[in-house]
Amino acid sequence: MLFTSAEQVVMLAVALLAGWLLGLASAPRAARWKRRAQGQAARFATYHRDVEDRLRAAQQRATDLKDELTALHADHADAEQTIARLRGGAAASGAALAEAATAEPLAIPPAPSPTPQLPAPTDRPRDDLTRISGIDPMLAMRLFSLALVRFEDIETLSAEDELALEPRLDLPAGYIARNRWRSEAASLRAGSMDAEAEGLVA
């Protein structure tokens, strides 16, 4: 048999008790190391996630910078084309100006001389021409400057005189005929003559 004496049984019991005590003493230390290892693993995982996030942000920034660089290259190309077009237009304009400067000057016809106006007579009495339809004070002054100061002057105008007079007075064609200047002047002249005759009789 393995255990044949009491001393062997006692020694076995002591060995079992010592192993149990040793295991009991070492158990908390093992748990503490386990917790420390778990904390280290958690910190490493957090650091790993942070590094991955930074890497993704750096890659995205690199992509954005690449897109911006492409856009800048396109804008630069457009600017170069615009500058070339403007330079070409400026060169063409300069050539046209140089050609125009060396060309013979255009012959400009002399301006027509204004139609001489007759001075207003000073020795004839003036009628109130504004009593005729279509003649205002300004138009009456123009008629005076053309020596048309009496009703009889308007009455004796011919159709050709009316056509020639309208552009000199800046009037539309047919203005004098539509307002019946000649007939109204004749009526006003006859009325003034009757008034003068009545005055003489009285």
Tokens of 174: 């047919």
My answer on whether 85 and 4 are in the same domain is yes
My answer on whether 91 and 139 are in the same domain is no
Which is nearest to 168 in space by CA: 148, 183, 189, 188?
A: 148
Measured distance CA(153)–CA(164) in Å, rounded? 15
Where in the sequence is the domain holding 33, given as residue range(s)? 1-100
My answer on whether 137 and 91 are in the same domain is no
Which is nearest to 180 in space by CA: 154, 161, 160?
A: 154
Each residue's pLDDT tens digit, 5-42: 778 778 888 888 888 877 766 666 666 777 888 888 88
My answer on whether 134 and 94 are in the same domain is no
My answer on whether 80 and 171 are in the same domain is no
Measured distance CA(55)–CA(59) in Å, rounded? 6
Check if the beta carbon of residue 181 is closer than 8 Å to that of residue 134.
yes
Each residue's pLDDT tens digit, 158-168: 999 999 999 99
If one counts the domains in the chain, the total is 2
My answer on whether 68 and 161 are in the same domain is no
Check if the beta carbon of residue 198 is closer than 8 Å to that of residue 146.
no
Check if the beta carbon of residue 146 is closer than 8 Å to that of residue 162.
no
